[in-house]
C-alpha cells in the first residue's frame, strides 16, 4: 500500500506554544509540518511569515511544507528557501508565469508545489505536471482553518491521478478528517493536510493514524 504523507497544519496550533505543538505532532507520527503563510491580499487573513519559519526550522527536523497563500510569491521564495522550507507551494491564481516560479523554487533545491482554489479547474495544471513535485488541491476556500470539506474539489484528484507521473504528490487541504481523508486517498491523494482535526483531538497519535 502507498505511503500517505500526513502534514499537520500549525494554523490550528497554539502560537504561544509553537515549539511544544510541533514536537507533539512530530512525536505522534507527523511526516511533514504544514505552514500556512497568508498575506491579507490573496486571502482575507494574515498569519505567519519568514521569521517564524526560520525559528521553527531550529526546533524540528521534520520537512517543512510551506503553503504560500500570497500575491507575488516570486518575491519571497528565496527568503522562505533560506529560512528552511523543504516544500514550497504557491497558488496558480497568484502568478502569471508558472514555469518561472517552479524553476525559481527548484533553483534553491526545494520541492515545488502548486495549489488550486475550489473554483480553478485542474486542467490548467496539465502543462506543468512533469516539472512539479506536488499539487495541492484545496478542499476549502483558502484563508481559514476549521471549514467544511467541499466534495467537488476532491473529485479533481481523479483525472489528475490518471495522467500524472507516479511520483507526483497529490495533496489535499481543508476540512480533512478521518472520513474525508478516506475519500481523498481513494481518489488518489497521497498527502493530507489537517489542522483542526489533529490539534483538537485528545490523542494526536490516534488522529494522525486514523487519517492514513
Ligand atoms: C486553509 C489552510 C489550511 C488549514 C486547514 O486555508 O490552507 O492548511 O490550516 O485547516 P483545517 O484542517 O482545520 O480545515
Ligand atoms: Zn494550507
pLDDT at 57: 98
Label each residue of 17-70 as H, E or C.
HHHHHHHHHHHCCCCCEEEEEEECCCCCCECCCHHHHHHHHHHCCCCEEEEEEC
The single residue of 21, 36, 39, 65 carrying the catalytic annotation is 36
Cβ of 8 closer than 6 Å to ligand 1, yes or no, is: no
Ligand with the closest atom to the CA of 140:
1
pLDDT of residue 138: 99
3.40.50.300, 3.20.20.70, 3.90.1410.10, 3.30.310.80: which CATH number matches 5-211?
3.20.20.70
Contact call for residues 36 and 67 (beta carbons, < 8 A)? yes
Are 56 and 35 a contacting pair, CB within 8 Å?
yes
Q: Is residue 14 flagged as an active site residue?
A: no
**Pairing state between β 33-38 and 5-8:** unpaired
Taking 60 as the threshold, does the pLDDT of residue 1 lie above it? no
Q: What pLDDT is attached to residue 2?
A: 75
To the query of whether residue 65 is one of the catalytic residues in this protein, the response is no
Neighbours of 161 (CB within 10 A): 16
- Our answer on whether the CB atom of 36 is closer than 6 Å to any ligand 1 atom is yes
Task: Check pocket membership of 35 for ligand 1, CB cut-off 6 A.
Answer: no
Q: Is 146 in the pocket of ligand 1 (CB under 6 A)?
A: yes
The CA radius of gyration of the chain, in Å to the nearest whole number, is 16
- Among 37, 140, 175, name the best residue to mutate to test ligand 1's pocket (greatest count of ligand atoms within 8 A of Cβ): 140
196 C-alpha to center of ligand 1: Å? 8
Quick one: average pLDDT of 50-58?
Answer: 98
The pLDDT tens digits of the residues spanning 159-192 come to 999 999 999 999 999 999 999 999 999 999 999 9
Q: pLDDT digit string (tens) for 7-30?
A: 999 999 999 999 999 999 999 999
- The percentage of residues in the chain with a pLDDT greater than 90, rounded to a whole number, is 99
Distance 118 CA to ligand 1 centre (A): 13
Interval 105-140: pLDDT, tens: 999 999 999 999 999 999 999 999 999 999 999 999
Separation of alpha carbons 6 and 211, rounded Å: 8
Q: Is the CB of 195 under 6 A from ligand 1?
A: yes
Mean pLDDT, residues 22-49: 98
CA–centroid distance, 143 to ligand 2, in Å, is 8
Mean pLDDT of the residues in the chain = 98
Q: Closest Cα to residue 32, out of 74, 63, 53?
A: 63
In this structure, which residue's CA is closest to atom 10 in ligand 1?
A: 145
Percent of the chain at pLDDT above 70? Answer: 100
- pLDDT at position 85 is 99
Q: Given a cut of 60, is residue 155 above it in pLDDT?
A: yes
Residue 44 beta carbon below 6 angstroms from any ligand 1 atom: no
Amino acid at each position: 500500500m502507498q505511503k500517505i504523507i500526513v502534514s499537520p497544519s500549525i494554523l490550528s496550533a497554539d502560537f504561544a506554544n509553537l515549539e511544544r505543538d510541533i514536537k507533539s505532532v512530530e512525536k505522534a507520527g507527523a511526516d511533514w509540518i504544514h505552514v500556512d503563510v497568508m498575506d491579507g491580499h490573496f486571502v482575507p487573513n494574515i498569519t505567519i511569515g519568514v521569521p517564524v519559519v526560520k525559528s521553527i526550522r531550529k526546533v524540528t527536523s521534520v520537512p517543512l511544507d510551506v503553503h504560500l497563500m500570497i500575491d507575488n510569491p516570486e518575491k519571497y521564495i528565496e527568503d522562505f528557501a533560506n529560512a528552511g522550507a523543504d516544500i514550497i507551494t504557491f497558488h496558480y491564481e497568484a502568478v502569471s508565469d508558472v514555469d518561472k516560479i517552479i524553476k525559481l523554487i527548484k533553483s534553491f533545491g526545494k520541492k515545488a508545489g502548486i495549489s488550486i482554489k475550489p473554483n480553478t479547474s485542474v486542467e490548467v495544471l496539465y502543462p506543468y505536471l512533469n516539472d512539479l513535485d506536488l499539487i495541492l488541491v484545496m478542499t476549502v476556500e483558502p484563508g481559514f482553518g476549521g471549514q467544511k470539506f467541499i466534495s467537488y474539489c476532491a473529485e479533481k484528484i481523479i483525472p489528475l491521478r490518471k495522467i500524472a507521473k507516479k511520483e507526483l504528490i497529490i495533496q489535499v487541504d481543508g476540512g480533512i478528517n478521518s472520513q474525508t481523508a478516506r475519500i481523498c486517498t481513494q481518489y488518489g491523494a497521497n498527502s493530507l493536510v489537517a489542522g483542526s482535526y489533529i490539534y483538537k483531538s485528545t490523542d494526536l497519535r490516534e488522529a494522525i493514524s486514523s487519517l492514513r
